[in-house]
Structure 1
Amino acid sequence: MPLTVPVLRVLEACRGERITGRLILRPLSGKPIDRRDAYRMVMRVAKAAGIPRHISPHSLRHAAITNALDAGVPLRDAQILARHADPRTTERYDRARGNLDRPGVHFLTAYVAGV
């Protein structure tokens, strides 16, 4: 997934003046991240952020697709972003279908970026 300018700004701010150490979490082994590693990382960050309910990489995927659709991204584009072969799969990810009161992905991005 491409990085948007607001997200890139947040990552640069997190990096600060550091030239060593990990910015993005990854296993200490240095090996590629597997499903279990991703789950543990998300759980660790959620716990540190005080998020009380269960959250997983897959729930983040659901949220991203829902936010994209809420923001007006066409279903076909969301399907491509999610790498789904069938648009019906993408539609199942949309947990807020018909809920027009939810903010879109641009509001979420602005919030994350502190704009």
Structure 2
Amino acid sequence: MTTAILLALTVVPEIHAGTLADGKWSPANCGTQPTAPEIDSRSVDAYNRSLKQVREWQQKAQAYNDCIVKEANADNAVIAEAANAEQARFRAEVEQIGAVAADAKAKLDGR
């Protein structure tokens, strides 16, 4: 069973999206977070230009945020799958040692 799980894990390509270093997760393929523009209130025209920049920034920021969510969800799924596989492997090992112990006890009780 352990060999089958290890073989399955070696065949699975890397699916992770982000990176985890020193306890901090960051997206790998989302580019850099867009910097919010400043609002220029020196004149009506300057203010209107600022609002145009804000609208453009909002679109970029939304795309960046959507990318982060997508990568985080992908990484969460990979982590959950790996943890579940490890738990299943451990349960199988516990069950196997329990069965071996029960067989040994039955053999010794039969003497």
Structure with higher strand content: 2
Instruction: Give the TM interval when normalised to the shorter protein.
Output: under 0.3
Structure showing greater Rg: 2
Structure with higher helix content: 2
Give TM-score scaled by structure 2 length.
0.21
Give TM-score scaled by structure 1 length.
0.20
